[in-house]
């Protein structure tokens, strides 16, 4: 096995907003296929495709009603096969998002399960009787607000849902559910996909006894009810790890496929390591660098140094479809192109597998989506305190001067932020100094240097705002230095170094490195 994913760069595609081939305002599989050349030129190793499966779209594909059917919004199974073939012809791997923790309430499994208490799938979901006073069986809370339980009038019981009420949780304590999920995975493996991204992978099992979560005793207010609890019983159960091992055994039968877990936990790094120890999943990414801030050298250093396992392999990302884009989240509304370039340059030097969210290679800021155009149920529920996830999900701008920035001739499902026209692909392709062209150079640089893809990582003490670390593999020693401030800084070097021209504007003279605002260097230590 060549373990293509280890140290590679995987590009996340949010299909609704990537490329619209039929001008209905929503991106689709054929649109993605038409842009495979763009992705190959970018230099990434593989693609992660967010859900394209049949769904009522209450949570935009993360509420699956048929795991083995493509939603007509995106095309059909033949279109999927064609995209897979096109990606493979271009030398790109294709991994798909699988949402096993829960289904849509329109899934045939749930339709049968809710029909009675004694049907063949009666125990396929988490059902419980009401308390004596008619209330829900325990105090669990949904991430999207309110109780994690909804009353079903047919069964006269409550069913559990960690997310929307339209997303009932499967009961993985039932072995038939585990078998059915493995059959779904086998269906896609047999079609030739290269791996899975497992949505909320530590949420599959809940406590059999449905015990109450204890309160989280910390000072200060919490922005949402969910964070008032210590989630001891509604996620991250020991049985979950056993299923991950069973899932891995299935995937290993097919060769060099990858499994990556999305981990949601108060213990970001520790839980990710737990899920990626040998025999479990290949890697995991967590929300440490997706939710915390402000950006500082100590933040990045703490995240990377917290990954203490010598056997589990990490993954890192600065943006995805659930959080404010990194340029805006860490740099503010006025963040410069230099700041966006710094983020990309720094990300491509980290140890682990790198996930690059669509549009970050363009340096896109978070889009402004007016309230009357919001689509995200989370954003609508918590508005105006949270604008939700729509601002990071708006369409990719392909052509600066075209209608809807070349995404579609029809009004898109989410509006194109007028500011995003200036970040369009066609404009950036023509500019050698653009963020897009820097992203290409950073990815190519990572591919050329095995120390960045596979080497060890040790931090070198430096005062804020300087971040300095070494990447070493065999005889190659690279010193990576980044300036996380808007002021020029000078840093003494630990020894003789050769500048490898990493395109972030830094320079060396004698034993001193000079870094412009948000500049950086990668040096070969002699």
Q: How far apart are CA 349 and CA 7, in angstroms?
A: 10
Q: Strand, coil or helix: what is 324?
A: coil
Closest by CA to 272, choosing from 234, 244, 230, 233, is 244
- C-alpha closest to that of 95 among 241, 243, 198, 247: 198
Choose the catalytic residue: 199, 274, 322, 360.
199
Round to the nearest angstrom and report the end-to-end CA distance of the chain: 33
Q: Which of 59, 169, 262, 390 is catalytic?
A: 262
C-alpha R_g of the chain: 23
Q: What is the dihedral of CA 186, 191, 197, 203, to 10 degrees?
A: -30
| 482 three-class SS | strand
ω before 150 within 30° of 0 (cis)? no
Mapping DSSP onto H, E and C, the string for 63-74 reads CCCEEEEECCCC
- 199 is an active site residue: yes
CA 185 – CA 392 distance, rounded (Å): 29
Name residue, tokens 């097919």. 254
In contact, 381 and 343? CB cutoff 8 Å: no
Taking Cα atoms as reference points, which of 526, 497, 522, 500 lies closest to residue 511?
497
What are the residue numbers of the active site?
A: 199, 262
């Amino acid at each position: 096995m060549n373990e293509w994913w280890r140290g590679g760069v995987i590009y996340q595609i949010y299909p609704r907003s990537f490329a619209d081939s039929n001008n209905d305002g929503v991106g689709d599989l054929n649109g993605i296929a038409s842009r495979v050349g763009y992705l190959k030129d970018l230099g990434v190793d593989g693609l992660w495709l967010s859900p394209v499966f049949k769904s009522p779209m209450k949570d935009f594909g993360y509420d699956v009603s048929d795991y083995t059917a493509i939603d007509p919004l995106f095309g059909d199974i033949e279109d999927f096969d064609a995209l897979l073939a096109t990606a493979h012809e271009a030398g790109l791997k294709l991994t798909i998002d699988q949402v096993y923790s829960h289904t849509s309430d329109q899934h045939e499994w749930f339709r049968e399960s809710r029909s009675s208490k004694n049907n063949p799938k009666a125990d396929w979901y988490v059902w419980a009787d009401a308390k004596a006073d008619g209330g829900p069986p325990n105090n669990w809370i949904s991430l999207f607000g309110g109780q994690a339980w909804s009353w079903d009038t047919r069964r006269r019981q409550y069913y559990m849902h960690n997310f929307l009420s339209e997303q009932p949780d499967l009961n993985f304590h039932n072995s038939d559910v585990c078998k059915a999920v493995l059959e779904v995975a086998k269906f896609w493996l047999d079609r030739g996909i290269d791996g899975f991204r497992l949505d909320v992978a530590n949420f599959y099992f809940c406590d059999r006894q449905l015990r109450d979560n204890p309160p989280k005793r910390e000072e200060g207010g919490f922005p949402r009810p969910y964070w008032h609890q210590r989630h001891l019983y509604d996620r991250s159960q020991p049985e979950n790890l056993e299923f991950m091992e069973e899932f891995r055994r299935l995937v290993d039968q097919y060769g060099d496929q990858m499994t990556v877990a999305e981990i949601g936990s108060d213990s970001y790094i520790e839980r990710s390591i737990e899920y990626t120890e040998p025999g479990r999943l290949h890697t995991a990414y967590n929300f440490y660098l997706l939710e915390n801030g402000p950006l500082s050298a100590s933040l990045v250093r703490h995240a990377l140094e917290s990954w203490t396992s010598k056997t589990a392999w990490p993954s890192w990302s600065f943006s995805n479809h659930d959080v404010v884009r990194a340029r805006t989240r860490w740099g503010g509304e006025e963040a410069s192109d230099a700041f966006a370039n710094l983020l990309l340059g720094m990300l491509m030097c980290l140890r682990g597998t790198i996930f690059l969210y669509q549009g970050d290679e363009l340096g896109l800021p978070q889009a402004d989506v007016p309230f009357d155009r919001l689509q995200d149920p989370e954003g609508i529920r918590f508005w105006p305190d949270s604008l939700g996830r729509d601002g990071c999900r708006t369409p990719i701008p392909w052509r600066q001067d075209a209608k809807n920035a070349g995404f579609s001739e029809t009004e898109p499902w989410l509006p194109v932020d007028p500011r995003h026209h200036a970040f369009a692909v066609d404009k950036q392709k023509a500019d050698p100094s653009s963020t897009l062209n820097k992203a290409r150079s950073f990815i190519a640089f990572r591919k050329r240097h095995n120390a960045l893809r596979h080497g060890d990582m040790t931090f070198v003490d430096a005062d804020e705002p300087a971040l300095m670390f070494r990447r070493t593999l065999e005889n190659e020693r690279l010193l990576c230095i980044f300036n996380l401030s808007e002021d020029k800084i000078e840093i003494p070097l630990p020894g003789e170094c050769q500048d490898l021209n990493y395109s972030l504007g830094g320079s060396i003279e004698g034993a001193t490195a000079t870094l412009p605002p948000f500049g950086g260097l990668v040096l070969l230590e002699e």
